[in-house]
Every structure is written in structure tokens, then in C-alpha cells.
Amino acid sequence: MSIAADYLGMPLSIDELDAENLAYFRHCAAHDFHLQQCGACQLVRYPPTTACPWCMSPQSTWVPVDGKGAVHSYTEVHHAIQPAFKAHTPYLVLMVDLDTQKGKPSEHDALRVVGNLATPDGKLAPPELVKTVGIGTRVRMVFSDVAPGLSLPQWTIDETAQQPAKPWRYPQE
Amino acid sequence: MPLPADTDATTPKHLRDKYAIVGVGETTYTRGAGKTTRALGTWAVRNAIEDAGLKPSDIDGMLSYQMGDSTPGPFIAGDLGIRLNFYTDIFGGGSSTEALIGIAIGVIEAGMCKTVVVFRAMNGYSQVRIGGTGARSAAPVTGDMLHSRAYGWQSAGQMFSFTFLRHMYEYGTTPEQVANVRVAHSHHASNNPKALHKKRVTVEDVVNSRIICKPLHLLDCCVETDNATAIIVTRAERARDGRHHPVLIRSVAGRVCKPRGDMHYQTGPITRVAGHYARDILWPNAGVGPQDIDVTGSYDAFTFTTMLQLEDYGFCEKGEGGRYVSDGTIRLGGRRPNNTSGGHLCEGYTHGMSMVIENVRQLRHDVDDSCPLGADGRRRHTYDYSEGGCRQVKGCELSANLGWATPGTGSALVMRRG
């Protein structure tokens, strides 16, 4: 069944034919991050796809994946393009290398999962928190609940992890 | 007929120099054209046909690209009295120019038509804004966009910045180094009467302009523009009868992709752009290398895109792009000027077309600057590159265009003076 909901005043929807995204976000709605694992080569992939990008197999199962990793790159948006985000600038879009499967199948590859910097309860992070995060910051996954069957995975600073002394930030504040 | 000795089954080397660009044309570059894309497209295509010295009946192929923001080819053709034997309107943006020139060669080679006009018509400022504000940002978020737009990760600048920022992190590239792309292009634009932004800027102007999304300042970004542009491709032997010195196509790479076209960041290093792959098609087929090139047209949607492509096509070592774009090489008067029209940053945003048009004029030794016209109607170039002066590259024989769609997709074109 399709899902349609509103998030920050922005219409989000998943079509009833979109089996992969329905499954992905259903797990997220349970605050339980899952990704597809290939039934043939066993590699895990992100975001959802309709076949294995490495071996073409159509067989996959949804497996739980630890939502922990480090910021690989980011952008800090000061001029929002979408009306939904104008009230939340500056906001961070993070590209996070999961610890799971990092460096596989080849050295520079990783499951790079996109999300905003959020507070532990899944709300977009305020400016004072945005300033503390950069490349190398250890983060853990939290969820922004949108509707039954649809929550967005987000990232928050991992309070329990050992953080780099100074994460790399763009030189101009 | 025997093929040249260097021909093999896997490359189109035997097409080297067999096709030419014989006509180029554009509308004015404005923010508020007050015309439909149909009217703009008709205007640009007519200019290109007149530039080539052809008649509408000489054109029998038409290719265009659009992102739901243009008028299909048959309307433009119809308005101009062109009867088509082939046309296709494809979906896509930056890097389509070079790809469509390659397709034009292919369909002529296949005997489907004889002369193809490639056009792009867009009200990128006054209708569907290319920066993504307005209708695009209000559209419902579904499918693959649930992993991007739902996070406020939508515009080209936002989408590409992971690559840009990681390059700074890995190679120590500085905002000031990259700002030199804007500085160079603004100098070039100051010698281009058509350019939207003719004012010369400094590194300080760029890094002191407001942040859009890190690492991009306002002046690191191109300028949304209303315009149309057109390029005519035909066989080289037809070009010899043309109005201009022939410009021959050496090699084309079209929409070459990094792995994982669905989300290219999944494979690394993410500082690598599609040129890393395209160069292995471009240079062997052209029979020349980056060291032979006199002028480049490296797509400047952003200052960073110019730098990243020059690096991955081999104009400098990987990681040295910051130095390459800031040491004077890419300025008029330097070893290898880039985007001598002012490019997308300053002349106006055309989705790639204007950079090929500019290099065609460079190879004709006939750029439309303010140098005095001779009795034959051609400019007497002074090679004085001071403000308001010349922008012709002296002795220009070989050009390279490096078209950008995303970090994960790019096209390229090598041309030479015939």
C-alpha cells in the first residue's frame, strides 16, 4: 500500500509499486536500520536497489545493519533551496561511512548513508551543534518519524564514541 | 576504401577529422528574456544556420536536450521551415552537448540524415530555475528522492559539495585557489560583449561573498540565465564550402559514468570525477593528449567543477587542481586558457553549449570580442587581453571541452582547426 505524508511542510510519498523503498522505510519506522544483502555475493548495499550492483543477482534479504559510522564528507547549507528547510539554516547534510563493510568491495568504497545532523530525538540540529561536526566526527543513527511506515534515518553525534580531537571543518566559519 | 592504419575494431579513430562543426549561434544572455523557449530556440537555430551560410533545407536532423523545461525539436524545425529526416529530444542536462555531437556523427554516419543541428533552449532564470528553487523544489518527494531531497539535498551545489569538500580535505585545496577560476572567467567575460557579468572580480570578492552551501560562496556558483544555443554538425567535406574556416571533430566521449549511477558516492574515492574514465576514450581517439591542447572549456557550473575535471582529464596531477587553476595557466595570456567567453560563471548558464560554441570560434580565430573588424568582416585581433579588449587565443589549433553533469557523469570533445 502506498504512503503519503508531510515532513517539514514537504510532501513525501512512496508508491505502492516501490517495494524496495516500502521495505526500507518500514524498517526505519520501527527504528531498526536494515539494508539489502545480496543472496549471491553477500554484499550489503545502499540505497535500496532492484538488483545487486556487484553481481546482478535479483535475490536479496533485508538484514539489520549497525547505524554507526564516521562523517566522510558534508555540506553545510546556509541558503536553503527548498522552502521546507529555510527555517532550519544552517543545516548539515552528512555523508557517513558506515563501519559495516567499510573498504569493501574495494579500498575506497563504503556504505555512504546520507542524513541530516539531528538531535538525539531526530530533530534537525541547531546552529550550535552544527558548528561542532566535521569530517571524522563519529555519529550514530536516529530516526525522524514522518508517518506510519515512514521514518527518515538521521545522524546524531555519538556520545559514547571516541571523537577526533578536532574534526575537519571548512576553514571559513 | 582502406581505413587508416591506426583503426581497430574497438575505437572510432577512423572518424577522426571526418566531421565538423560548421555553424554556431545563440540568443542574447538575459535574466528575463520575455520569450518562450520556442521563440528562443528558433532564434538560436536560425543564427546558427546563418552563421554556417546554409539554408533551412540543408538541415535534416535535429537533436535537443531538456529537463522538462524546453520546446521539442519539431516545433523549432516547423517554425523555420526545416523538414527533418531525424530528430530526438533527450532528457538531461550538463554534459549533453558533447554527447549529442557524438550522436549527430553517429546518425549521419548511419545514413539517417546529412546535417544535424543540436540546440538547447531554456528560461533557466525566468521559468524553470536551474538552481532548483520554485517549481522544482515544491514538487513531491518520492522514489529515489526520498534519499536526497528529503534531507534538503537537492540543488546541484548541494549534491556536488561532498566531492568538493572532500577534495579540500584530502589535498589541502583552499577556497582562495578555487576562487581563481571565477577570477579568470570574469576577466574573460570582461572582453565578451555578450556576457551577463562583465565585471572583473578578485579572489577576495569571491571568498567574501556569502556562503550558499559550504564550500560554495555565491561567486563560486554560475548564473541562472534565459537563452538558447545551437551547433551544426556535418561531414568535413561539406564544411569546406562553409563561410568559416572548418573546425574538425577529433574525438568525443559522451555521458561517461562512474560506477553506481544511482548514487555514485557509493564507490570511491569520491574526489574522483567521471573524467577519470572518459579520458581513456577521449585522448586515444583524438590522437593527442592534454599537453597538446591550446584552450579548454571545462564546465563551470561551479568553480570546483572546472578544477576537478582539468585534474581528472590529466591537465595536472591528481590533487594539483588547486595549483593549476591559480597559477595563471587558465587565464587569457596563460599557457591554456579555460572558458574564454567567461563560461557559465560569468557569460551565462547554457547547460554546456556555450563552451563548445566559444571553442569553435577560437579555432576559427574569430571570437566575437571588441577588436576592430577588417574589410573582410573578420576581426583584427590585437591579443591585448586588458579589460574590454581581445579574447582570441593566439595560434589556437586544438581545443578540449569537458562537460559536466554530476561528479559521476561527464562528456568531452576534442576539436581542431581544419
Read off the C-alpha cell for B125.
532564470
Q: Does A144 fall in a domain? A: yes
What's the CA gap between B125 and B32, in Å, rounded?
7
pLDDT at B4 over 50: no
Question: ipTM, 2 decimals?
Answer: 0.98
Query: What is the model's pLDDT at position B6?
Result: 55
Which of A105-119, B8-22, B35-49, B181-195 is predicted with the least confidence, judged by mean pLDDT? B8-22
Q: Please give the mean pLDDT across all residues of chain B.
A: 95
Counting as low any pLDDT under 70, the low residues of chain A are: none
pLDDT digits (tens, 9 = 90+) for B252-298: 999 999 999 999 999 999 999 999 999 999 999 999 999 999 999 99
> How far does the CA of residue B215 sit from the closest CA of chain A (Å)?
7
> Does residue B14 surpass a pLDDT of 80?
no
CB B201 within 8 A of CB B387: no
pLDDT in tens, B110-138: 999 999 999 999 999 999 998 888 888 88
The alpha carbon of B223 is separated from its chain's Cα centroid by a whole number of angstroms, namely: 14
In the predicted structure, residue B308 carries a pLDDT above the cut 80: yes
Distance from CA of A141 to the nearest CA of B (A): 14
Mean pLDDT of B85-102: 97
Could A172 and B211 be called an inter-chain contact, meaning their C-beta atoms sit closer than 8 Å?
yes
Residue A170 lies in a domain: no
What CATH number does the domain located at B13-128+225-239 have? 3.40.47.10
| Alpha carbons B22 and B241: distance in angstroms, whole number | 10
Residue A118 is part of which domain span? 14-157
Q: Has residue B317 got a pLDDT over 50?
A: yes
Number of folded domains that form chain A: 1
Helix axes B353-364, B96-109, angle to 10 degrees: 70
Phi and psi angles of residue A37, each rounded to the nearest 5 degrees, phi first: -110, 130
| Residues of chain A contacting B259 with CB distance shorter than 8 Å | 53
Give residue B3's pLDDT. 43
- Among chain A residues, the shortest Cα distance to B213 is held by A77
Entry pTM: 0.96
Is the preceding omega at residue A90 within 30 degrees of 0, hence cis? yes
pLDDT for B180 beyond 90: yes
B385 HSE (CA, 13 A, CB side):
18
Assess B209–A contact: CB distance below 8 Å, yes or no.
Answer: no
CA dihedral B382, B384, B386, B388 (to 10 degrees): 10
Phi, psi of B237 (to 5 degrees): -65, -30
Question: For B11-24, what is the mean pLDDT?
Answer: 87
Residue A9 lies in a domain: no
Q: What is the pLDDT of residues B340-397, one digit of tens each?
A: 999 999 999 999 999 999 999 999 999 999 999 999 888 999 999 999 999 999 999 9
Would residue A172 count as lying in a domain?
Answer: no
**Cα B272 → chain centroid:** 20
What is the DSSP pairing of strand A3-7 with strand A10-14? antiparallel
Place of cell 548514487: B263
According to the model, what pLDDT value does residue A144 have? 98
Q: Domain ranges for chain B, please list them.
A: 13-128+225-239
**Binary contact (B211, A78; C-beta < 8 A):** yes
At B306, is the secondary structure helix, strand, or coil?
helix
| Residue B305 C-alpha from the chain's centroid | 12
Whether the per-residue pLDDT at B214 is higher than 60: the answer is yes
